[in-house]
Structure 1
């Protein structure tokens, strides 16, 4: 039976509702796949987020090599999804990307996990590509969630 792999974007969320949602889902590990885990949104930069998660009993892992590189982010800002997809697909095909992908699979198989990035819509985020790639390596049912206040 496949494990459930959740994905989430924190755009528009606050840290309290975010943590409550993760706890309600039974999440035990958050896998941060942001290239640069810094946020202007209070509570979502790497250290603050890791601390808040730890207090909530949720482990934190940052896999930088699964982050969308600057060129991919710029393509998405221009609305160039095909360009983004080409850049990101090339990026995670590198050995470091493949190593990080395998690490994400191992982590997600150990405990209920969620992939984190910024964009609220999974259709506009590289986490959807990561989740699809993870499904090629292991059996996962992918569920994209939103954070509701």
Structure 2
């Protein structure tokens, strides 16, 4: 695949319903949803790992959880407070771990072969660790942010 053709999608479920999220993924032709939350749990019905994976699979979208690409607790707290500098510092440290490097390499390979979307909570990717992940490990992919 040429560098110009490399794309990765991102999506956050903040303020969304499961049907709206699935509709946005389907409209973009997503084949694989990669959950990049450290803790794939949600107080919002339908967004915990098992329920979300089931909804995606019903729509013909494969689901993978990649815990090593999630944000540690300190980073999640910083993101909630809008403290981008702390989020970046904490998450960049996370991405240096061997398991995160391996997961990042796997994500790259998957994104080369499947229309792949990274999922987290934050609606705005620029305020989320998804943008840091993209810059650190997928900077040769065009990022397309979906808003359900």
Same fold (TM over 0.5): yes
**Under a length normalisation based on structure 2, what TM-score does the superposition of the two structures give?**
0.93
**Equivalent pairs, count:** 145
CA-CA distance at 1:20 after TM superposition: 1.1
SS, match of residue 138 in structure 2? helix
The counterpart of 1:79, out of the listed 60, 82, 85, is: 82
Structure 1 regions of 5+ residues with no counterpart?
none
Deviations 1:93-115 (A, max 9, x none): 11111111101111111210100
SS, match of residue 85 in structure 2? helix
> Is 1:4–2:7 an aligned residue pair?
yes
Spell out structure 1 runs of 4+ moving beyond 3 A: none
Aligned equivalents of 1:123, 1:103: Cα separation in 2 = 23
Partner of 1:88: 91
SS, match of residue 93 in structure 1? coil
The counterpart of 2:61, out of the listed 33, 58, 61, is: 58
> Is 1:46–2:55 an aligned residue pair?
no
The counterpart of 1:120, out of the listed 123, 135, 143, is: 123
CA-CA distance at 1:123 after TM superposition: 1.5
CA RMSD of aligned residues (A): 1.1
Aligned equivalents of 1:135, 1:36: Cα separation in 2 = 22
CA-CA distance at 1:79 after TM superposition: 3.0
Aligned equivalents of 1:145, 1:40: Cα separation in 2 = 22
Partner of 1:140: 141
> Is 1:99–2:102 an aligned residue pair?
yes
SS, match of residue 36 in structure 1? coil
Structure 2 regions of 5+ residues with no counterpart?
none
**Under a length normalisation based on structure 1, what TM-score does the superposition of the two structures give?**
0.92
CA-CA distance at 1:42 after TM superposition: 1.4
Aligned equivalents of 2:80, 2:143: Cα separation in 1 = 26
